[in-house]
Amino acid sequence: METNERQVTQINVEDLTVILKDAQYFRVRYFAKKHNDYIERMGMVDDKMKLWEDSKEEICFTYFDLQQNGYRTAKNIDWIQTASLRKEALN
| Residue-averaged pLDDT of the chain | 83
pTM, full prediction: 0.75
Q: Are 90 and 67 a contacting pair, CB within 8 Å?
A: yes
CA dihedral (53, 80, 66, 48) in degrees, to 10, reads 30
Count the Cβ atoms, other than its own, within 10 Å of residue 32.
14
Q: What is the pLDDT of residue 46?
A: 92
Percent of the chain with pLDDT over 70: 81
Separation CA 2–CA 70 (nearest Å)? 40
Q: What is the pLDDT of residue 3?
A: 46
Mean pLDDT of 52-65: 92
